[in-house]
Structure 1
Amino acid sequence: MKKTILSLALLAGLTSAAQAQTGLKLGLKGGFNGATFSGTDSKGSQYKAGFAAGGLLNYGFSDLISVQGELLYSQKGGSRDYDNGAGKTYTDKTTLGYIDVPILLKVTAGDGGKGPFFELGPQGSFVLHQRSFTEDSGGKQVGPSYTSTDALNKVVIGYVAGIGYQLTSGLGIGLRYTGDLSQVYKDGGTAVATTVGGVTTTVTNPNVHNSVFQLQAHYLFGGK
């Protein structure tokens, strides 16, 4: 009888532990983006502020290992100062809007599903919109804004790597870097002549990639 009771207690304990360590959780997240361009034609690119926000699904195989998929709206782009050749300085500013879909392996180093975590995985990004324009040294827009996405690659592939801290309440904070392997613009774009400050220049699609640091907070519903 004692052996039977002990066996049942042990089974109940193992079942409870398994339930605590595994399962599907839904979540929300959002935060700050510091975005710029990297790549062959990125010389002079500067960071611009943006944001990211959306939802996530996290499936835990244990307190240590989980897989997390996210669906985020994310602002990217960058700015670049240049001299037009006539002694005047201008700034090109570009804001790009994407839907990011990262699939991440998440390792949580603490006990009970809380503590420091590390995440790594691929990301697919789908362009939604863009706005590009030029400002003079006084911050005044010169020339038209460009909003067409025709010159952009509609889907780009990249990667995500990050660290953070998870609480058992479901609240967490993280810092991550996302970099694109695909170019922002299509190869072999048609040259476009633009005139700024009385100087006409011919612009072709640059070879650049999105490069973004993200500081994010999230909440997992169903956290312990």
Structure 2
Amino acid sequence: MKHVALLLAGCALSATALAQTPTEAPRVSGLRSSTDYAPGTGSDSRNNGFGIKGGFTAANFRGDDKKNFGNEGIYNTFHAGVYAQFGFNDKFSIQPEVLYSRQGFKGDNPASTSQTGTYTTRLDYVQVPVLLVYNFLDNVSVHVGPQVSLLTKVKEGDRERKIADENDTYGYSYNSLDYGLAAGVEARVGPARVGGRYTAGFADIIQDQNLAKTGNTAITNIKNGMFQVYLGIGISN
């Protein structure tokens, strides 16, 4: 969590620096700053529109059973998707997104019968966060909100796993649904936006564990955690 806090602090400082760029400086032809947009909730408001986004993900896991994994570490990967934004007023808006997020963790799973040693557990999700956005500076906002994720693919090292009902073979299965909370900070420069976000999953990654088959080692109480850095481009506003 110390690394996450430092990264978020760095994003906030960078975003503030961007927001304090003198307004009288000439801007690149064709680009609009947020102050060029009409206030309120109209079609020309900076708080309305849609676009694409993507970037880097540093994923790991957390929970009481994390201690049962050896050599655990960060899985560096990516995410990408689309967003829409609907303004309530100059300060507040709602922003739903649909993202493809590759995440997971590195470690030595003491219950795995399909892999040995340290390897990467890859978890591919379709995520739908719904974020409340607050513009605390002209070009800088914070966002927070719930997120629901559907697991579409699991890969342990070089072996692909089915998502559910693998208990008879491996002694445990993966939960197809995750839900959690996302929070972060974002800066906007013309149609571009850059930000950082931390997402904490609340559902257990692994479910239906058969302790008799996994050496009586508990691995069910582990949850997703990830930090994302992204770049977005507005197609409309």
**Taking structure 2 as the reference length, what is the TM-score of the superposition?**
0.70
Q: Secondary structure at the match of 1:21?
A: coil
Which residue in 2 is equivalent to 1:101?
128
Q: Secondary structure at the match of 1:183?
A: coil
Q: Deviations over 1:101-128 (max 9, x none)?
A: 00000112233xxx11100000000000
Letter in 1 for 2:125: Y
Q: Larger RCO: Structure 1 or Structure 2 (Cα < 8 Å, ≥ 6 residues apart)?
A: 2
Alpha carbons 1:191, 1:205 under 8 Å: kept: no
Q: Distance between the aligned counterparts of 2:224 and 2:109, measured in 1?
A: 20
2:220 to 203, 206, 210: 206
* 1:143-162 matched pairs, under 5 angstroms: 145-150=159-164, 151-162=173-184
Q: Which moved more, 1:74-83 or 1:64-73?
A: 74-83
Which residue in 2 is equivalent to 1:215?
229
* 1:1-224 matched pairs, under 5 angstroms: 17-18=39-40, 19=42, 20-21=44-45, 24-43=48-67, 44=70, 45-81=72-108, 90-111=117-138, 115-133=139-157, 145-150=159-164, 151-167=173-189, 169-186=190-207, 188-191=208-211, 193=213, 205-223=219-237
Q: Which has the larger radius of gyration?
A: 1
**Residues 22 and 217 from structure 1, CA distance in 2 versus in 1: closer, same or farther, beyond 3 angstroms?**
closer
Q: Distance between the aligned counterparts of 1:190 and 1:83, measured in 2?
A: 13
Unaligned runs of 5+ in 1: 1-15, 134-143, 195-200
Count of residues paired in the alignment: 183
Higher strand share: 1
Unaligned runs of 5+ in 2: 1-37, 165-172
**Taking structure 1 as the reference length, what is the TM-score of the superposition?**
0.73
